[in-house]
Structure 1
Amino acid sequence: MTSPPTNPVGGVPLAPPVRSASRSGPVLIVPDRRRGRGALPPWWLVLTDAALVIGLGVLGAWPLGQAWTGHRWLIAVVVGLALGVAIAWAGARWRLGPWLTALLTAAAYLAVGSAVAVPNRTSGGVVPTADSLHDLVVGLVQSWRESLTLPVPLGETGVVLLVPFLTGLLGGLAAAVLLWRSRWPGLAGVVLALVLVVSSAFGDVTAQAALARGLVIAVVALVWLRWRSLRHVRARWGRRVLATLVVVGVAGGAASGLGALADPEANRVVLRDHVDPPFDPHDYPSPLAKFRAYKKEPLRTETSLFAVDGLDSGTRVRLAVMDTYDGIVWNVSGGPEAAHDSGTFRRLRNDPEANAKATTRGAVTVTGYTGVWVPSVGDTLAMTPVKDGRTDDEAAAELVVNRETGTVAQIGGVEPGTTFEVEALAPPVPVEEDIATREADSSVSLPAPAVVPEELVDRVQRWQAEDGFGGGTGGELAQFLRDSFREHGFYSDGIDDDVPAGHGAARLAELTKTPNPVGNAEQYAAAMALIGQRLGLPIRVVLGFKVPPGGDDVRGEDISAWTEVKLRDVGWVPFDPTPPEDQKLRKPNDDPDEDPQPQVLQPPRVPGEPKEASDNLQQGDGQRRELDVLAVLGTILGIALDVAKVALLLSPLWGVLLFKFWRRRRRRRADDPTLRLTGAWHELADRMRDLGVRPPPGATRRESAYAAADRYEAVPVVTLAHTADRHVYGEGEPTPEEVGAYWADVDTAVRRMRRATPWWRRLLARFSLASVPWRAGVERLRSAVGRRGRGAGRWFAALGPVVRGRAVVRRAVRATTRVVRR
């Protein structure tokens, strides 16, 4: 008989190979000769695992590239994955515990994260500084919020790069630890799948080869982990490889079929869709509503709003484009509820290739202008904010643009002194003859106006009848509306007369119901866009300025509003429906009276109550106001609910639940079978105390069971007590099966007792302190405090002679001083 092979280290016999029979033939299972659980596998397997973790991790994190610009996000992911794998290898190599591994991870994060995630805050781009370490600590929480709230594509400034770095670091560390230091190495595939899920959640809505990417990760991880788990099994690998390929083929075919049925242009549901957007134009008042304010002093002529450089006179500098009307104001689109053709606001990304096509280059320096809307020209390709002679990276990170409308905004508003260097593509302006031949671009669908005054519709219909306009192309309709408003209307800025401001439905109805319409660009542009959308034109309102001739400073008097209509093969064409400023309506009393009438002395006016005096009274003017009792009660109720929420959150009752959970877990996982069984009885006894059963002090199990049996007759508590006594005082130890069965009986008994108890008593039992030994804890704490107090007393008593000696010395010194002075 041959002896079993021995281990060369220590001469310990090794376990012989085990043969197993299966349908596929004999399988030889070679035992793992590692030095123990938790030891590193061979070096070739470590390198293979590390390469696959990093490779699959990068593939899983690829959706982040749709939300981040540049390539630094990819560097952050790769460095994070490699760093996590290295930390896991070091922990397995030197057998580091969880706390030491976490400490090593924190140190590596602070040492490497500065150069990877916040290089602009480091010294020389590599050496960490106090600012970079502060950003790393704060960014552990702030980076996730900023990556969801800032508009995409995200830049490389701030702390947003911490998201890909942390995703790679934590994903690589968890996957490698599970591979090399756990009993379940197959969970590494789950970790890599979570990396894909997290990256997709923090990515953008655009789905690019998401199905193929997930399928590749699943197939590679399945084959890799299967081969890894069976690397010690010598079997017919041809059949295993063939079976694996069949499974992968079936899964791939099913996935491909589902992908073919799905919408190829479908968008993912990402987290940024469920957070408050960083910029919603509806959070700000309509830019067109401020039109009259620009016509008043000091904005009209005294204040310079901004200075332009490199722009020709007459160039249209736009502030905002508005394509939605709610019956009160025209407003900017691009919020979360905006129509698809209205676009959305995204981060302004300067594309060098697109900038080469720029036909207009200039600079706009903000002086007296304030607001979130940034002056822009044409189709903005690039915009660089410069302040104090250098690029303002913080302002650049807050620039957003709606590519559909061309509106540019800065989150938080522009700052005076900032110069915006603009590179834009000036749209070609076709001649009138070419416009008349163009059809409206029917591919654009704008939101229908909420209200269209009937007076506006009737006036346009009368103009059509008078001019014999029976229809035509979209360009001809736009020209007809523009010319009709210019010919039949009169101009008034509303400063020197009583022409009302605004462009609500009532104001537009008043504009068009009078024989002679009077208004300014605010009313005429709003009216033309409103009736144009009613007639099916893709039309919108634009607010902006026209660069004055021979001047660089733009003031309020240069404000203007016009409309834009999208025509086929031409794009958005501007139309100005406002009459010339010298086309004013002459009132009857404008002519001098050739035969003046003699003045008649009028009787003195008796002062009376002012009209609508209640509207002019301010707070504290003596008017008696009624107390809104419901509002006060609602406020008090809201405060009470807030206090209750805070009290519930900070309540020590959660500690009671945690203690009971920990106590049950400790009892059920005791090493000794007898202790596990008696722990089940103690659990039952504690539940009975919480439900209100009060056995006498020092009662035995049977006495406690009899006390509970009086209340719960249908629960075999006495039988459970006898069973516990038999196992505790009988011969031998209970088997694991008997312990498990006893715990199951105890759980059943507890459920029956709870069903027999009123619901309010069951709720109170969850947080009851009857089974919590808090009195014993208080006694131990008091004893410990007493011992510390007595020790402190002895210490002070020992210091007594020293203190008294110092007092004697001080008295002697004072006496000597008095003698010397005498």
Structure 2
Amino acid sequence: MSETRMLPRSPRQAAIDCAAIFVIGLAATLSFWPVFGGTAVLAAGIGGTLLGIAVGVATSLRPLRGWLMTAAGVVLALVLFGPALAVPRKTIGGVLPTLDAWQELLLGVVFSWKGLLTAQPPAEGFPSLLVVPFLTLLVTSALATVLALRLERGAPFAMLPGIVALVVGIAFGTKSPFWPALLGIVVAGVIIAWWAWRRAGWRTGLNDEVEVTNDTRFRGRARKQRTQGAIGMIVAAVVLAGAVSIPIQPASRAVLRDTVEPPIELAEYPSPLAGFRNWHKNFEDSTLMTVSGMPEGSRLRLATFDYYDGSVFAVAGTQESSGSGSFARIGDAVDVQQTGTPATVRVELEDYSGIWVPDVGFIQSLRFEGPREQALQGSLHYNGQTGTAIALEGLGTGDAYELEAIVPAQPAHEALEGSTVTDVSVPDPVVVPDLLQAWVATWGNEGQNQLENILNMQRLMQNGAFSHGLEDDTIPSLAGHGASRLQSMFDRDVLVGDDEQYATAFALALNRINVPARVVMGIYPDDGFSGGTEPVQLTGGDMHAWVEVPFEGHGWVRFDPTPPEDNDDIQPEPEPEPDPKPQVLQPPQPPEEPADMSPDTVADEGEEEEEEVEDASWVMWLWVAGGVLLLLLLLASPFIVVGAIKAARWRRRYRAARESDRLSGGWHEVVDHAVDLGLPVPAGVTRREVAGFVEGRYPRSRATEIGAFVDEGVFGPGEPAKEEVDAFWLDVERSVQGMRAEAKPSRRLLGRLSLRSFARRRKERRRR
């Protein structure tokens, strides 16, 4: 290799190395595509790959060569090109960076990793999340290029950064198993082909240095046969791996987003159903919002509840086996697998406030408007299972947004005949009032199937009385839907309440007959939306609650157990006598819900058990972390001990009192490193002979020049100058680094643990 060459490798070799790195970077970019979607991720990933390769090539040139320069080049590329590729929405024209773009870019370097795991795919519309693929490809491509251009026998290590980038893309991706398998096969084929080419070139270089024959005709034929055989083996391996692995791929795979807790815990927020009566009391005639574009018969949904703790119906927390509390951030678009009618709905808020975003169906996109657009968009979270959205920034007067959604068709109850209830897991209620259980035992099994039982209990509840308990209502009715409120509701001859009580009671009743149900709170006119684009003003009096039950082939179907608002007659209507069924009429006696136990007591015991389990898990993790740390210390202890001994010897030699002793110490340092690297240095010979022996094995040690300088300084007249000895020790360090660079990696590792040099010095002292 010529000492004047700017690059360690020829331009042709460097171009092939960079091409292989680019292909692997492209595969790693495509591994991010399922979670991002769109073309922006391709620009970020491919741009990061090209920039990384450029940085690696530039910092491998002789004037700029060095790892510090590589790190500086990566930072410079990040600052100059990061805004346009990773946060283009904050730039001017998608190219020119701004202060906001740099701020979002630098914050994304730290926070975008967790944000990507908690975002709802596709994540391309989220601010700063493109920093993840851009930064990953920039760093790994720069590192891979530097290693590929600078290493010879250790060239396979240059492919490790590309593999890391692919693993990051797969780990941060979605559950689709086919795409990562295909990319892995492609990357494996590229790495094998590239390494075969590098190894063939290295062997050819050795043959050129040691010419054994001049018959180039046979050598060329053999090289051609080897190339064809290698290509055939690579193609066969890739095809065979794909044919074997693709059919046995699982339906899904584990990804990092499965292990990350949702970014928010809605169990910490008050249930909006607890404030249901407030909307009717204080906002009965106040315009909450103006809505346009609602499909006919649809309803605006605020929140969906499936967990009853005896006090309120709420969104299940992460401790429950339910997905209603799993909210994730969404960007410009949401993947929707539902079928139904597309709708574009516009909502303008007036007196409405809260974190719950009124929506319809299943959102495909939602875009806020107004002065708080960015704050609301950044705090928007969505639950794709329940179709519920929240904005943690909080909605208020003057906010507006437009959403596109798929609205599933709601079948008539008659159309459900012959359909079965879907077996969906919902959390069991903590407490069910005894009188409600007795009511279900009496009327909950009168039909021939589950649908008839559902409709029968709905009809009986609709025969009750309606009352909000307001001043102008003729029937008193307390607010709330706790266990005691429902107990008093069923302790009367006629049921009395509004949507809050009836929806809660109906959902608990369905649970008693093993029908999964959830309560939904929303807003719609009493006569329903008629469809069309005409704006409709909704008031607090339009706030409602209902129950949904899942049916095979229909999804979640609405049921309204609440009586009509004009049904304010408290005279009991004659109810049909139930068919005597002793085995059914006996109220069930669940041992886990004794009547004399209050809901608060149950909740407290559950919290204590949860705290005990949480404490136990922390102790377990501490033990695991301590064990891992101890194991790492044990593995590293030989390197630490031997390294400390050698460092002490180096300091003793470097800080010797006489300059001539410092010269001798530097020479011994060179020889001792050669001995520790496995070189059998002869004893009892002159320094010149030892120097020739060391330099013969490690030419970069310059042992002959160092030995001659030591002989002149030690045996010459006078004491060497301190400045000359300090410069000499710099040459000693370069000599040691040169020997280590020429040694094999395994020999370098063993050299750090070797104590041969100490044994050799001890033998020399004994000989003297």
Instruction: Give the TM-score normalised by the residue count of structure 2.
Output: 0.67
Q: Among residues 97, 106, 109, which one is paired with 1:128 in the alignment?
A: 97
1:485/1:577 contact within 8 Å kept: yes
Does residue 55 of structure 2 align to residue 87 of structure 1? yes
Does residue 151 of structure 2 align to residue 165 of structure 1? no
Distance in 2, Cα, partners of 1:156 & 1:380: 15
Q: For structure 1, which segment, 562-571 or 307-316, has the greater mean C-alpha deviation from structure 2 after superposition?
A: 307-316
Q: Among residues 434, 441, 462, which one is paired with 1:486 in the alignment?
A: 462
CA separation of 1:128/1:385 partners in 2, compared to 1, >3 Å: closer, same or farther? closer
2:523/2:543 contact within 8 Å kept: yes
Please report how far the alpha carbon of residue 330 of structure 1 lies from its aligned counterpart in structure 2 after TM superposition: 2.2
Please report how far the alpha carbon of residue 525 of structure 1 lies from its aligned counterpart in structure 2 after TM superposition: 0.6
Q: For structure 1, which segment, 77-86 or 205-214, has the greater mean C-alpha deviation from structure 2 after superposition?
A: 205-214
Distance in 2, Cα, partners of 1:587 & 1:376: 39
CA separation of 1:345/1:441 partners in 2, compared to 1, >3 Å: closer, same or farther? farther
Does the residue aligned with 1:67 lie in a helix, a strand or coil?
helix
* 1:482-513: CA deviation from partner (whole Å, max 9, x where unpaired): 101111x2222234476433223333333224
Quick one: higher RCO (CA 8 Å, sep 6+), 1 or 2? 2
Does residue 265 of structure 2 align to residue 265 of structure 1? no
* 1:401-423: CA deviation from partner (whole Å, max 9, x where unpaired): 32332212223322431212233
1:64/1:203 contact within 8 Å kept: yes
Please report how far the alpha carbon of residue 250 of structure 1 lies from its aligned counterpart in structure 2 after TM superposition: 6.5
Please report how far the alpha carbon of residue 471 of structure 1 lies from its aligned counterpart in structure 2 after TM superposition: 2.0
1:449/1:530 contact within 8 Å kept: yes
Equivalent residue, structure 2, for 1:210: 180
Distance in 2, Cα, partners of 1:164 & 1:348: 17
Query: Which AA in structure 1 matches 2:36?
Result: W
Alignment of 1:55-94 (within 5 A): 55-94=23-62
Q: Among residues 269, 289, 298, which one is paired with 1:284 in the alignment?
A: 269
Please report how far the alpha carbon of residue 194 of structure 1 lies from its aligned counterpart in structure 2 after TM superposition: 0.8
Q: Among residues 404, 417, 423, which one is paired with 2:404 in the alignment?
A: 423
Please report how far the alpha carbon of residue 744 of structure 1 lies from its aligned counterpart in structure 2 after TM superposition: 7.4
Does residue 455 of structure 2 align to residue 455 of structure 1? no
Size of the aligned set, in residue pairs, is: 581
1:206/1:268 contact within 8 Å kept: no
* 1:376-397: CA deviation from partner (whole Å, max 9, x where unpaired): 1234343322226xx9355334
Does residue 410 of structure 2 align to residue 434 of structure 1? no
Equivalent residue, structure 1, for 2:312: 329
Equivalent residue, structure 2, for 1:536: 514
Q: Which protein is bigger by CA-based radius of gyration?
A: 1
Equivalent residue, structure 1, for 2:15: 47
Does residue 495 of structure 2 align to residue 527 of structure 1? no
Identity score, percent: 30
Does residue 206 of structure 2 align to residue 221 of structure 1? no
Does residue 291 of structure 2 align to residue 308 of structure 1? yes
Equivalent residue, structure 2, for 1:118: 87
CA separation of 1:105/1:429 partners in 2, compared to 1, >3 Å: closer, same or farther? closer
Q: For structure 1, which segment, 493-502 or 107-116, has the greater mean C-alpha deviation from structure 2 after superposition?
A: 493-502
Does residue 124 of structure 2 align to residue 146 of structure 1? no
Equivalent residue, structure 2, for 1:378: 361
CA separation of 1:661/1:103 partners in 2, compared to 1, >3 Å: closer, same or farther? farther
1:372/1:411 contact within 8 Å kept: yes
Distance in 2, Cα, partners of 1:258 & 1:667: 55
CA separation of 1:483/1:75 partners in 2, compared to 1, >3 Å: closer, same or farther? same
Distance in 1, Cα, partners of 2:550 & 2:435: 26
Query: Which AA in structure 1 matches 2:447?
Result: G
Does the residue aligned with 2:144 lie in a helix, a strand or coil?
helix
Please report how far the alpha carbon of residue 149 of structure 1 lies from its aligned counterpart in structure 2 after TM superposition: 4.0
CA separation of 1:370/1:208 partners in 2, compared to 1, >3 Å: closer, same or farther? farther
Gaps of 5+ in 2: 205-218, 530-534, 573-638, 654-664, 674-713, 715-738, 740-749, 761-768
Equivalent residue, structure 1, for 2:278: 293
* 1:538-590: CA deviation from partner (whole Å, max 9, x where unpaired): 422110112266994322222111112233333332211112233335599xx
* 1:603-656: CA deviation from partner (whole Å, max 9, x where unpaired): xxxxxxxxxxxxxxxxxxxxxxxxxxxxxxxxxxxxxxxxxxxxxxxxxxxxxx
Does residue 382 of structure 2 align to residue 401 of structure 1? yes
CA separation of 1:581/1:414 partners in 2, compared to 1, >3 Å: closer, same or farther? same
Q: For structure 1, which segment, 158-167 or 474-483, has the greater mean C-alpha deviation from structure 2 after superposition?
A: 474-483
CA separation of 1:142/1:665 partners in 2, compared to 1, >3 Å: closer, same or farther? farther
Distance in 2, Cα, partners of 1:138 & 1:351: 25
Equivalent residue, structure 2, for 1:470: 447
Equivalent residue, structure 1, for 2:608: none
Equivalent residue, structure 2, for 1:19: none
Query: Which AA in structure 1 matches 2:165?
Result: V
Query: Which AA in structure 1 matches 2:448?
Result: G
Equivalent residue, structure 2, for 1:674: 668
Query: Which AA in structure 2 matches 1:491?
Result: F
Query: Which AA in structure 2 matches 1:446?
Result: V
Q: For structure 1, which segment, 280-289 or 67-76, has the greater mean C-alpha deviation from structure 2 after superposition?
A: 280-289
2:56/2:146 contact within 8 Å kept: yes
Query: Which AA in structure 2 matches 1:316?
Result: R
Distance in 2, Cα, partners of 1:79 & 1:349: 22
Query: Which AA in structure 1 matches 2:155?
Result: P
* 1:317-354: CA deviation from partner (whole Å, max 9, x where unpaired): 21112223334332235858553699764526537999
Please report how far the alpha carbon of residue 456 of structure 1 lies from its aligned counterpart in structure 2 after TM superposition: 1.6
Alignment of 1:231-242 (within 5 A): 231-234=201-204, 236-237=222-223, 238=225, 242=229
Does the residue aligned with 2:60 lie in a helix, a strand or coil?
helix
1:449/1:534 contact within 8 Å kept: no
Equivalent residue, structure 2, for 1:197: 167
Aligned CA RMSD, in angstroms, stands at 4.1
Gaps of 5+ in 1: 1-32, 589-657, 680-728, 730-734, 747-822
Distance in 1, Cα, partners of 2:451 & 2:3: 85
Distance in 2, Cα, partners of 1:462 & 1:355: 38
* 1:343-384: CA deviation from partner (whole Å, max 9, x where unpaired): 764526537999997454332112222222111123434332
Please report how far the alpha carbon of residue 316 of structure 1 lies from its aligned counterpart in structure 2 after TM superposition: 2.3
Does residue 312 of structure 2 align to residue 318 of structure 1? no
Does the residue aligned with 1:422 lie in a helix, a strand or coil?
strand
CA separation of 1:364/1:251 partners in 2, compared to 1, >3 Å: closer, same or farther? closer
Distance in 2, Cα, partners of 1:346 & 1:140: 18
Please report how far the alpha carbon of residue 249 of structure 1 lies from its aligned counterpart in structure 2 after TM superposition: 5.3
Distance in 2, Cα, partners of 1:408 & 1:192: 38
